[in-house]
Amino acid sequence: MQGRATGKSEAVYERLKEDIESLRLRPGAKLSEVQLGEELGASRTPVREAIRRLARDGLVDFVPGEVARVAPISLGGVHALFEFRMLLEPQAAASVATAGAADERVLVPFHDLLKRLEEFDESFRALDAAAQVRSYTKFYEVTEGFDQAVIAACRNPYLARTIRDLRSQTVRLRHLSHSRPRRMLTSLDEHRAMLKAITRGDAQAAEAAGRHHLAQTRQALIDSLTSQDLTLGRDVQVDLTG
């Protein structure tokens, strides 16, 4: 097994995932098993396996017998992705709120999260736009904590896994267009609304807040994609026809 500590396959997967999410590997780029193996210091077997997993994550288009390619980004795909998330994530938030109403322990991580959010939110609002952009790492840390906590608290493993499987694509889109400062502010508001509804055990409000947040996020993303700064200084092309 070449040492449980190493885990070549896992390492290759994580590395490729990062490269694709960060757009270092551009949509449409060929993923040759031998070439990647040489670059990453692994043989074909782990690379193959990693590529299959990335295909499941929706980051790679894979057709048997053909060269795997980094999945292209299309406007239609973005719409479909968000439509699907809109079906799942508000429901997950609602079910967590319901579970929390029945068992207070479910809510512990959300109380923590809400506290961290409030703290960050306060300092974030005090910054000017440039400083806000510079602190976007922290912003994502807080907001992503929410997704993670919902998934962790989600009672239904199918729902949890499906939401988790969509995360990689969402992350890549985020790299296509970082949130603007104003959007970050409203996003924080939306997260606070979701967290409060959950800690209150109000399933209906949690679902509504989740739906609202996703709708806003999608709109911000679409606006960004359809504006001129598609390329972000790189030549990442997005298919706007879909």
217 vs 191: CA distance, rounded Å: 11
Is residue 33 a contact residue for DNA (CB under 7 A)? yes
- When binding is defined by CB under 7 A, the residue of 24, 39, 44, 119 that contacts DNA is 44
In the list a second copy, DNA, none, the entry touching 80 (Cβ below 5 to 8 angstroms by class) is: a second copy
Cβ neighbours for 158, distance < 8 A, ≥ 6 positions apart: none
| CA–CA separation, 41 and 88 (whole Å) | 39
Total binding residues toward DNA, as defined by CB under 7 A: 28
Interacting span for DNA (CB under 7 A) from 26-34, 95-103, 108-116, 152-160: 26-34
DSSP state of 106: G
- The CA distance from 29 to 197, in Å, is 43
Q: 95, 104, 115: which is closest to 210 by C-alpha? A: 95
Using the rule CB under 7 A, is 130 a contact of DNA?
no
- CA–CA separation, 47 vs 44, rounded Å? 5
Q: Which is nearer to DNA, 68 or 184 (CB)?
A: 68
Of 88 and 221, CB closest to a second copy: 88
- Footprint on residues 79-98 left by a second copy (CB under 8 A): 80-81, 83-84, 87-88, 91
- Pairing relationship of beta strands 30-31 and 68-70 according to DSSP bridges: antiparallel
Query: Please, which residue, 42 or 221, has the CB nearer to DNA?
Result: 42
Residue 35 partner contact from a second copy, DNA, none using kind-dependent CB cut-offs of 5 to 8 Å: DNA
- For residue 30, the minimal CB distance to a second copy (Å) is 18
The entry of DNA, a second copy, none near residue 81 (CB within 5 to 8 angstroms by kind) is: a second copy
Q: Which residues neighbour 14 within 8 Å (Cβ) at sequence distance 6 or greater?
A: none
Q: Which of 16, 17, 20, 46 binds DNA (CB under 7 A)?
A: 46
Q: Which residues of 78-87 are buried (b: 16+ CB within 10 A; e: fewer)?
A: beebbeebbe
Nearer to a second copy, 34 or 80 (CB): 80
* Tokens of residue 82, six digits: 């968000």
The entry of a second copy, DNA, none near residue 224 (CB within 5 to 8 angstroms by kind) is: none
Cα separation values, 105 from 4, 100, 202, Å:
35, 7, 16
Using the structure block, give the residue that is written with the tokens 């990442």: 236
Binding footprint of a second copy on the chain (CB under 8 A): 1, 4, 7, 9-10, 49, 52, 56, 64-65, 80-81, 83-84, 87-88, 91, 155-159, 162, 166
Binding footprint of DNA on the chain (CB under 7 A): 1-4, 6-10, 30-35, 37, 42-46, 48-49, 64-68
